[in-house]
Amino acid sequence: MESYPLLGNPGAMSGVLDYKGRPITKTSSGRWVAASFILAIEMAERVAYNGIVFNLISYLTGPLGESTVAAASAVSVWSGVTLLLPILGALVADSFFSRYRTIVISSFLYVLGLGLLSLSAVLPNLTTFKSVLFYFSIYLVAIAEGGHRPCVQAFGADQFDETDESECIWRSSFFNWWIFGLAVALTASPIILSYIQDNVNWALGFGIPCILLGSALIVFLMGSRFYRCYTLKETSPYSQVSRAIVNLVKRKLFSDAKSEAEALVEHYPVSPTQPKLQRGGEDLMTEQMELETNSLLHLFPIWATCLFYSIINCQWETFFTKQGATLDRNIISNFHIPAAGLQSLTNLSVTILIVFYDRLAVPLTRNITGIPSGITMLQRIGIGLLLSVFVMVISALVEMKRLETAIEFDLVDKPNSVLPMSILWLFPQYILMGLSSVFATVGLQEFFYDQVPDSLRSFGIAICLSIFGIGSVINSFLIYVTDKVTTRIGGESWFSNNLNRAHLDYFYWLIACLEFCSFVAFVHYGRSYVYKKRRETGV
């Protein structure tokens, strides 16, 4: 990005340019106007991504003819790769392309992937070429997601200057309204898209998100003149962090050993008349980077203890949907709600609850605690983690009821029959999942954006996303091991293709116990965590 000098433009922001690399003023850029254009493309992208993942297990077990275990594993692996690639995307954005350019390039790839996915759905079922094109398409989407996902939210938060007191408060609120906007977009789309995919055709169900994202990309480009783009450092922040880690390790290993020069200075002090060596600017920068890197390493325990929370997120995209497909989905007249459409309930609850949280809970707790955000970021995450334990407990109890109903009405060996049990039984676990997301998911996003060095904002979002990526991989591994062990021991897998003979309830209890242990560890490490100091505020 070509940059222009600040001469002749005294009102220009330091270190901030427009999308063409020209100086830009605070009054003519950023804030909510710029953030609204960025939110528009993210809302479309979330609809596109979830238009795939929400009903992907149904497509794999239907047109592609895969088993329940293979389909669930495929969904988890793809989700894991999709959420791990943002680490690479963040490196590219923070070191080479800038966030703005990375968003534009990845969005073009995204639209191409969705177009190919729609094409694959037109091909005859159970053919090799259909499967090859399908997997190529979704992994092209994963690559595009890797560039898009870590940059968009960080780019949106960049539109608020943390050195300005008012904009600093707006930025904290931005994360709440960001999730609100995404929840609004995802409230109706799962029902509409999954209904089209199940009852009209899959090609149209995949094609609509493609058109929507293409249109949103045009809107995003229209708002370019309002965006604040932070200049890239001449030296890659990742190489600086790498060198800082090496220095920290060396200092740790040799902390007890004194160099020969230090020993000489101790025994033969420097004469008062002899000039002392002065530390150069490069040494001070290295020391600062080492301090920031050390604080970055302190994020690891928080990251690790949140992995099982992401495993719970995997269940409402896979097994919750399979559960719903076996229940009576007739709610209004002759309309049968699609099983994947229940995920709209989680997004609807987020939409409602985030408003109450931002407008009622935050001001109330702020008056009590004196903290601008009401409670600390780690306290918010911890509440969400604890709520997720109750999500799995309720899910296990409902699944036990579903299995009892199958036995009571002699439908155990009739997997294609609808059980005389309303799908309303699943509502509590979906709603509670939404409440958990209001606390944990939003808290994690703000925490990892705020606590990384300023030059690694995209990387901070990528770290947050990697929690869900690694969690998806762990979930896939957990499913694989559980399937093999339970088949060998009991003869019937907990994930039998006939869900009436499966034991998802046992699996849910297992996850609940693991998540509770993870929550205890999170509290332990969270109590000793020291927050990064903010820069001095002021215009």
Q: What is the pLDDT of residue 410?
A: 92
The pLDDT value recorded for residue 451 is 86
Q: Looking at per-residue confidence, does 536 or 104 come out higher?
A: 104
Distance, CA of 480 to CA of 19 (rounded, Å): 47
Residues 45 and 52: beta-carbon distance below 8 Å: no
Distance in angstroms (rounded) separating the CA atoms of residues 491 and 335: 39
DSSP 3-state assignment of 189? helix
Measured in whole angstroms, how far is the alpha carbon of residue 396 from the centre of its chain?
25
Average pLDDT over residues 408-418: 88
pLDDT in tens, 327-383: 988 877 677 777 777 877 888 888 888 888 888 888 899 888 888 788 999 999 999
500 phi, psi to nearest 5 deg: -75, -15
Residue type, 532: K
Average pLDDT over residues 31-42: 87
Residue with tokens 């050390």: 294
Q: What is the pLDDT of residue 533?
A: 65
Distance CA 346, CA 343 (A): 5
Q: 105-164, pLDDT tens digit by residue?
A: 999 999 999 999 999 888 887 778 888 899 999 999 999 998 888 888 888 888 887 777
DSSP per position, 280-303: PHHHHHHHHHHHHHHHHHTTHHHH
The interaxial angle of helices 343-356 and 427-451, nearest 10 deg, is 60
- In the prediction, which pLDDT does 265 show? 44
Q: Is the pLDDT assigned to residue 6 strictly greater than 70?
A: no
Q: Which of 490, 509, 511, 512 is nearest to 501 (CA)?
A: 490
CB distance 154 to 99 below 8 Å: yes
How far is 295 from 320, CA to CA, in rounded Å?
A: 38
- The DSSP secondary-structure symbol of 272 reads T
- 61-70 pLDDT, tens digit each: 888 888 877 8
Q: What pLDDT is recorded for position 539?
A: 29
- The set of residues, in sequence order, having a beta carbon less than 8 Å from that of 398 and lying 6+ positions away, is 323, 425, 426, 428, 429
174 pLDDT more than 50: yes
* CB contact at 8 A, 486 and 505: no
| Half-sphere exposure at residue 74, Cβ-oriented, CA atoms within 13 angstroms | 22
Residue owning tokens 């999170």? 522
* Average pLDDT of the segment spanning 411-430: 90
pLDDT on residue 519: 97
CA torsion 341→345→350→351, rounded to 10°? 80
Rg (CA), the chain: 26
Q: What is the pLDDT of residue 271?
A: 45
**Residue 9: pLDDT above 70?**
no
Across the chain, mean pLDDT equals 81
Q: What is the pLDDT of residue 274?
A: 45
State yes or no: pLDDT of 295 exceeds 70: no
CA angle 176–181–182, rounded 5-degree value: 100
Name residue 17's beta-bridge partners. Answer: 23, 229
Looking at this protein, which amino acid is placed at residue 529? Answer: Y
């705020």: which residue's tokens? Answer: 450
Cα of 364 vs its chain's centroid, Å? 28
Separation between Cα atoms, residue 427 and residue 404, nearest integer Å: 19
Beta strands in 263-360, from DSSP E residues, in sequence order: 330-332, 335-336
Predicted confidence at residue 214, as pLDDT, reads 93
- pLDDT one-digit tens code per residue, 421-459: 998 999 999 999 999 999 999 899 889 988 887 767 777
Q: What angle do CA 188, 145, 357 make, to 5 degrees?
A: 50
Whole-model pTM: value is 0.70
pLDDT value at position 105?
Answer: 92
Kindly tell me if the per-residue pLDDT of 83 is higher than 70: yes
pLDDT over threshold 80, residue 384: yes
- pLDDT tens track for 238-265: 555 555 555 655 565 655 444 444 443 4
109: CB partners within 8 A, 6+ apart: 140, 143, 144, 147
Q: What's the gap between Cα 295 and its chain centre?
A: 22
Locus of tokens 């998911």: 441
Rounded average pLDDT over 486-503 = 88
Cβ partners under 8 Å of residue 478, min gap 6: 311
Looking at residue 201, its amino acid is N
Beta-bridge mates of residue 422: 328
Distance between CA atoms of 371 and 441, rounded to whole angstroms?
20
**Tell me, what's the pLDDT at 505?**
94
Amino acid 261: pLDDT: 42
Span 292-297, mean pLDDT?
68
Residues 177/341, Cβ–Cβ less than 8 Å: no
Sheet architecture: strand order including 12-17: 23-25, 12-17, 229-230
> Both tokens of residue 485?
């062990």
Please give the structure tokens belonging to residue 205: 């169900």
Predicted confidence (pLDDT) per residue in 451-489, tens digit? 887 767 777 888 888 898 888 888 888 988 999 999 998
Residue 258 vs residue 300, higher pLDDT: 300
Cα–Cα dist 489/482, whole Å:
10
Q: What pLDDT shows up at residue 251?
A: 60
Residue 533 or residue 19, greater confidence: 19
pLDDT over 70 at 292, yes or no: no
**Looking at per-residue confidence, does 141 or 276 come out higher?**
141
Q: Which two tokens stand for residue 208?
A: 């609509």
